[in-house]
Amino acid sequence: MDALELAMKIEQDGENFYRGLAEKATNSGFREIFIQLADDEVKHYQSFKSMQQSPESFKTTAILKYAGNIFKQMIARDDLKNLDASQLELYQKAMELERKSQAFYLAHAVGDEDKNQSQLFQKIAAEEEKHYFLLHNIYELVLRPQTWVENGEFVHLEEY
């Protein structure tokens, strides 16, 4: 299996994982975020699939802005009271998967002689970093909702 095929498998597995998290989510805001993460994984898969035809077609997602709006809505609705801490292990697993995916893409970006493929791996590695950042914020919010809201003042999700 070459790097592109393996990358497509990683993205399919990620999509399935996030759709499963969305089904298990007890919070509607988290459910929306997990569905968006799954949709991002589909976009990454499609980018890898179409890479040879149009390597410049990859577009970054606005997942952090989208999630920031969801978090603001959750806070406005006072929807932070009943966060399900039983899913913390799943969020940790998701963060671990994002880190592994990012490491895989960065390793192939450096070692790939095809410039277009290397650039695509770098771009998707950056997307995986955004996903990790978002998941870490969800984890922190569930772990310590009052601290997250009071100390963060919504700076958690600035674009970087």
Domain that holds residue 114: 3-153
How many domains would you assign to the chain? 1
Cα–Cα distance measured from residue 110 to residue 103, given in angstroms and rounded to the nearest whole number = 11
Is 107 inside a domain boundary? yes
Cα–Cα distance measured from residue 75 to residue 71, given in angstroms and rounded to the nearest whole number = 6
pLDDT digits (tens, 9 = 90+) for 69-79: 888 888 788 77
Compute the 3-state secondary structure of the chain and give helix, strand, coil in percent, each to the nearest 5.
80, 0, 20
pLDDT band at 145 (very low <50, low <70, confident <90, very high): confident
Is 158 inside a domain boundary? no
Overall residue count recorded for the chain in this entry: 160
User: What backbone phi and psi angles, to 5 degrees, belong to 147?
Assistant: -65, -40
Cα–Cα distance measured from residue 137 to residue 72, given in angstroms and rounded to the nearest whole number = 13
DSSP 8-state code for residue 85: G
Is 56 inside a domain boundary? yes
Angle at 14 between CA 141 and CA 122, to 5 degrees: 95
Average pLDDT, the chain: 83
What pLDDT, on a 0 to 100 scale, did the predictor assign at position 146? 64
DSSP 8-state code for residue 77: T
Please report, for the domain that includes residue 80, its CATH number.
1.20.1260.10
What pLDDT, on a 0 to 100 scale, did the predictor assign at position 117? 81
Is 34 inside a domain boundary? yes
What pLDDT, on a 0 to 100 scale, did the predictor assign at position 88? 87
What pLDDT, on a 0 to 100 scale, did the predictor assign at position 10? 92
Is 159 inside a domain boundary? no
Is 160 inside a domain boundary? no
pTM of the model: 0.81
% of residues, the chain, pLDDT over 90 = 36
Q: What is the DSSP string of 27-60?
A: SHHHHHHHHHHHHHHHHHHHHHHHTTT-TT----
pLDDT digits (tens, 9 = 90+) for 4-50: 888 889 999 999 999 999 999 888 899 999 999 999 999 999 888 88
Report the interhelical angle of 28-50 vs 63-76 (nearest 10°).
170
What pLDDT, on a 0 to 100 scale, did the predictor assign at position 160? 42
pLDDT at 154 over 60: no
Query: Coil, strand, or helix at residue 25?
Result: coil
pLDDT band at 102 (very low <50, low <70, confident <90, very high): very high
Cα–Cα distance measured from residue 12 to residue 45, given in angstroms and rounded to the nearest whole number = 7
What pLDDT, on a 0 to 100 scale, did the predictor assign at position 70? 86
Please tell me which residue, 112 or 6, carries the higher pLDDT value. 6
